Chains A and B, each alone.
Chain A
Amino acid sequence: MSSFNKRNRRIPKQLLSEKEEVVPEYLTLEEKISYFRNGLFNTDDLKIRELTFNSKIMTIMFIDSVIDNRSLQTYIIQPILEKGSGDIRDVVSSNSIKETLYLDEALSAMVDGHCLLLTEDSEILTLICMPRILTNRFEPVNEKVIRGSHQGFSENITENVHLIRERVSSPKLTVKYSSIGETTRTKYALVYLSHLTNPELLKMIEDRINYVQADAIQSPGYFEEFLEDNSYSPFPQFLNTERPDRVAGNLMEGRIALLMEGSPTVLLLPVNFFSFFQTSEDYNNRAFIGSFVRFIRLISFIATLCLPAFYIAVISYNYEIIPVEIIFSIKSSLEYVPFPPLIEAAIMQLTLELLREAAIRLPNPIAQTIGVVGGLVIGTAVVEANLVSNTMVIVVAITAISSFVIPSNELSTSVRILGFPLMIFAALFGVLGIVIGLMLLLIHMSTLKSLGQYYLYPVVPLDFKALKDTFIRVPIWLMKERPKDLKPQYKWKTTDPRGWEKNEESD
């Protein structure tokens, strides 16, 4: 029972602002409209149309990213204009027409796919259910999941906002449309939760966007390079995704999404390094599995970065490190190879990049051929021709596979490229060189910021509480608060959702 009280205590905190305002007192039409505008935090997808019906002013309010605009025109606006008078129930054609007196009820119904009719000198708010925007259902090819939503963003900005609104059906979700680019006039939208996202972050990103003066903005990549903190860093500082569920999840952490017309890629900002290792599937799997997979990904990051370098260091400098038994087999495979290990590794890594790049643009069946030619033919032939040693092929193959384990494509490419300087360090100074290289990398990463937030959070600065969702994923009911790096306006996530355990035991 005590937990029940606690829950009651916390939830009204969010809704209080609306509930208090619902005093059934007389409001003029303008006051009602401004109530809805404020209730939706002046979002740009709230549309208002004024008509005259029964010789009174009638206002139609709707959120254009939620309902199908064409149906609104044919089934609501057209009949009203044609008939001009009568009972509204007989005029519009819709499967559900509701009437209410409460403004807050109308507010949440609007977000949920209704359009709202307000009439002059009338207390009654009419809610008409509208069909939703139909979106094509296709899964983004670069972010597939086994279990979970298979919906991907389309290239139309309104549809994309709709997909987000479907998942976060709250009047607090705010959409700010604007356009940028002198010639291209590209439409973009900032989406965030008004009561959650830190206003300072919002101001910062708006300020930065205001500085952008460009002739053309063609893709989210332009935005990325204009807005990110350090453009020379090898690490991506904004998260790219084509998955609405991922965007919704990140919005709920207090992040901001940047959508763009003509691109299914949504930028999420600010992000930290570990966001790139999270997928929406982690939260669908059992916590054990989720943690294990997360761990595998982080290990694969380290392997991609260090494995070739470590191998080079061992072979060319510190062969004492590995056990004697292995040295013999490595030595025998190296016997006829004319190149130093660095060149060997560089050849193999570059071949791998060639194959990857060739396979991207080819149609699927041919890409498979490339796989066979590249993987099998070159792999075996290169060893038999003694150009590259057996072990090096293994090392490079493991590196390649582990780089593809990293869920984010940009990060995995960056990490593979970062492997090269590390390999040079290893070839020059052995294990010591790797340590120096990693140290430099750590210093760079820990000073790097994404929109003013530490990139390596929660490791730098160390925050033990937030580690719950970083190296491992603890059960969701243990993550009671949001991480504090984004300074969200409230931290509450859940309160004892397994409180029923106590009740059942006492029975």
Chain B
Amino acid sequence: MKNQTNLTSIQLMLFIVQTQIGVGVLGLPFSVFSISKGDAWISVLLAGIVVQLLITIFWVLGRRFPAKSLFQYSIQLVGKAGGTFINVSYVFYGVLVTSLILMYSTAIIKTWVLTLTPKWIIMLLLMGTAVYLGRELLSDICNVYVVVSGLIFFLILISIVVLIIYPVDWRYLLPIGHSGGTKILKGIKEAYFSMLGFELLLFLFPYFQHNGKRSVLFSASMANLFVTLLYAFLTIVSLITFSPEELVIIPQPVLYYVKSLYLQIVERIDLVFVSLWVVSVITSLTSYLFLSTEGVAHTFKRIKRSVITIFFGSSAFIIALIPNKEAEMELYNKWVINTSYLFILIIPFLLLGISFIFKKKERGKNV
């Protein structure tokens, strides 16, 4: 789109990667393990395949309207009222996910690093940084994402070190498939929460379409492949480091195995690790804020972008302050995950169906 033609496919890939990797990465092995036990890694891989299917569908949908994002073609497909409704609901969805991420990350920071600091201060720190980045243009956001992506390799490196110097036991993975098909399939649902973020493809498509439609699919798939493999790797490392009895009681296995690592110069590497992981959380927050901002900025072109971002940032902040107990947070989590099916499965399918039946599509202007 205007002034943003310098966006590359690597930026798209890292945008999706940074959105997907976030709060879930630390707890993913635990939550998947609690359902599908030793076969958790199979669930993660299967979840990756499901996500890949969804990405392909989003791409097919986006390809029909190459120069527009979902916010624009929804109106074209289901009429003004319906389209506006869909757009508003996506904007809300962005805010809801933002506050969900905020809640969970704050909870983890509070248990691991800043035990005595009030909740709202930590939230303010995270949200403030996310808003500061989120009010910028997409190209600036992408640039920052590319730089901070270096931290992911830090995560991989530490996991590899754990694999090498730890007395790991590969037999915890055996026998493969012992927990049964249904449990593995149920585990997919758990892994899916950490995989959220790929839906941003629906809104990013027009920004990257000048690279070629195929390259958009390729970047998104590569992002998904990378994240799936990374998650599967982390799950395997967690599974073989801790015995099944241990794994039941540690909600953030990744942090636990990092914690037990002993390097000569840094004693408690997990504290540094959590602090760096915050960067991934901030990028995820920013992406969802960007989603909400995009939705409004398209309709009301007169309002400044930063005002919109600040508004949504503070609403997500306030929502995140409401639940007090962990049970309430769990409830909110379940609720958001359930509504996410609506936004990730139902609406895109519906739009795609309408687009196919009524043969509504647009050729992009030859770029």
Partner-B contacts on A (CB < 8 A): 318, 320-324, 429-436, 439-440, 442-443, 446-447, 454, 459-462
Contacts and interface: CB of A to CB of B under 8 A. Distances in A.
Contact of A436 (B265, B269, B274, B278): B278
B136 A447 contact: yes
B275 A434 contact: yes
A439 B271 CA distance: 17
Contact of A460 (B129, B143, B264, B274): B143
Contacts of A446: 140, 143-144, 147
Interface of B: 6, 10, 109, 113-114, 117, 125-126, 129, 132-133, 136, 139-140, 143-144, 146-148, 264-269, 271-272, 274-276, 278-279, 282
18 contacts: A318-B271, A320-B267, A321-B268, A323-B267, A429-B114, A430-B113, A432-B125, A432-B274, A436-B125, A436-B129, A439-B282, A440-B129, A443-B144, A446-B147, A460-B144, A461-B6, A462-B10, A462-B143
Contact of B132 (A320, A435, A443): A443
Nearest to A444: B132
B278 A459 contact: no
Given A431-B113, A432-B278, A434-B275, A443 B129 contact: yes
Chain A interface secondary structure, helix, strand, loop or mixed? helix
A454 B148 CA distance: 17
B147 A439 contact: no
A431 B113 CA distance: 9
Most central of A321, A432, A439, A447 by chain B CB within 10 Å: A432
Contacts of B274: 432
A431 B275 CA distance: 6
Contacts of B272: 321, 431
B132 A321 contact: no
Nearest to A432: B275
Of A321, A436, A443, A461, chain B has the most CB atoms within 10 Å of the CB of: A443
A51 B269 CA distance: 82
Task: Name the residue among B133, B268, B272, B275 with the largest chain A CB count within 10 angstroms.
Answer: B275
A436 B139 CA distance: 21
Contacts of B140: 446-447
Contacts, number: 81
Nearest to B274: A432
Contact of B266 (A321, A459, A460, A462): A321
A323 B125 contact: no
B332 to A, nearest CB: 24
Contacts of A322: 266-267
Contacts of B126: 436
A335 B139 CA distance: 51
B6 A320 contact: no
A429 B144 CA distance: 23
Nearest to B266: A321
B285 to A, nearest CB: 11
B144 A318 contact: no
Contacts of A462: 10, 143, 146-147
A439 B279 contact: yes
B131 to A, nearest CB: 10
Given A430-B113, A460-B143, A442 B125 contact: no
Given A320-B267, A321-B272, A432 B113 contact: yes
B265 A323 contact: yes
B125 A321 contact: no
Contacts of B139: 461
Contact of B267 (A321, A442, A461): A321
Nearest to B11: A461
Contacts of B276: 435
Given A435-B275, A436-B129, A443-B133, 11 more contacts: A322-B266, A430-B114, A432-B113, A432-B125, A433-B125, A436-B125, A439-B279, A440-B129, A440-B132, A443-B136, A462-B146
B278 to A, nearest CB: 6
A462 B143 CA distance: 7
A398 B199 CA distance: 48
A320 B271 contact: yes
Contacts of B264: 323
A271 B367 CA distance: 32
Contacts of A432: 109, 113-114, 125, 274-275, 278
Contacts of A434: 275
B71 to A, nearest CB: 24
A429 B125 contact: yes
A460 B275 contact: no
Contacts of A431: 113, 271-272, 275
A76 to B, nearest CB: 54
B141 to A, nearest CB: 9
A440 B266 CA distance: 25
B23 to A, nearest CB: 15
Given A318-B113, A429-B125, A459 B147 contact: yes
A320 B278 CA distance: 19
Contacts of A429: 114, 117, 125
Contacts of A435: 275-276, 278-279
